[in-house]
Structure 1
Amino acid sequence: MISRLPLDDQLESLRMVLSRNSVLTEVLRRTATMELPGWYLTAGCLFQTVWNVVTDRPPTEGIKDYDVFYFDADDLSWEAEDAVIKAGREIFADLPAEVEIRNEARVHLWYEDKFGVPCPPYESSEAAIDSFAATTCCLGVRLEAGGWRVYAPHGLSDVFNLVVRPNPVLAPRSVYEAKSARWREQWPELSVLEWPGRGSSMEGP
């Protein structure tokens, strides 16, 4: 089990698994050239690559998009974020995947309209990653001069063990349940733990 490996070995296992997704590694490489403040490649493209490799599927199977977070609190205008998004479209234009770039310093401006609950302003990209609906999603990777920087506040055990665990910090229960149901359709091997207060778990086969 990866959870019993030394931390350095866990991180190396993650790097090796993610490197099997050539689209992901190319998104990492190209995003690094944009020099976005506090950026991470995050969310589904990471943990779903792990799920694919662990379950012997093609590394890119079922991955809808590749999410890039950055954090620029100096300019909260839509125009500034849109300029970064447009630059990204050019940089990633020839890749067989959609890359979504978002300034996490602006999320509180639109989150309630979209999800029905208010979102306090984030203080960093890491804080935004902390608020994902499942702890399994709380994972970010970026390239730095010294190699890969990994942000994984809940560790890597659940990701490699195909466990989806709720994170009732911000996202409503309905968001968690809709996402986990969609994931179970694609990866039926998952064990989906129920939202607190509803019971124990929705186990995979």
Structure 2
Amino acid sequence: MHLWHNGNKAPYKNTENAIERWIATVHAVGISGNSGNIEIFAPYGLEDIFTKTIRPIYHVDNNRILYENKVARWQERFSNLKIIEWSDEIKNL
């Protein structure tokens, strides 16, 4: 994924690190394993999936433009989404 951005992003350390740096919590879920043992990695939980909540993940590789563009595309495809607006007040980048 970091290569899609002209090398402007730091490489991911592992799959979990990549998932933690996605645009929104609703998609920050990884599932691995087999029929006898399934593992779920959901650093922001699963509630947003079930409530159709689109919530930004604040990190150095995400920004308002990326988030709002992604939200607009999701709104074209899916109904009844609860959108959490990007906040410039968050300073933990």
Instruction: State the one-letter code of the partner of 1:173.
Output: R
CA-CA distance at 1:197 after TM superposition: 2.5
CA distance in 2 between counterparts of 1:136 and 1:196 reads: 17
Radius of gyration: which is bigger? 1
CA distance in 2 between counterparts of 1:136 and 1:145 reads: 24
Unaligned runs of 5+ in 1: 1-106, 199-205
TM-score, normalised via structure 1 length: 0.39
The C-alpha deviation readout for 1:141-172, integer Å capped at 9, x for no partner, is 12247421111111111110010000121223
CA distance in 1 between counterparts of 2:79 and 2:44 reads: 23
Q: Work out which of the residue numbers 23, 46, 49 in structure 2 matches 1:156.
A: 46
CA-CA distance at 1:111 after TM superposition: 4.0
Instruction: State the one-letter code of the partner of 1:125.
Output: T
CA distance in 1 between counterparts of 2:23 and 2:74 reads: 13
Unaligned runs of 5+ in 2: none
Number of positions where the alignment pairs a residue of Structure 1 with one of Structure 2: 88
2:78 is aligned to: 187
TM-score, normalised via structure 2 length: 0.80
2:15 is aligned to: 125
* 2:56 is the alignment partner of 1:172: no
CA distance in 2 between counterparts of 1:145 and 1:135 reads: 26
Change (3 A) 1:111 1:172: farther
The percent of aligned pairs where both chains have the same amino acid is: 33
Name the one with the larger helix percent.
Answer: 1
Change (3 A) 1:185 1:124: same
CA-CA distance at 1:123 after TM superposition: 1.2
> Which runs of structure 1 show a deviation greater than 6 angstroms over 4 or more consecutive aligned residues?
none
1:141 is aligned to: 31
Change (3 A) 1:182 1:152: same
CA distance in 1 between counterparts of 2:46 and 2:5 reads: 30
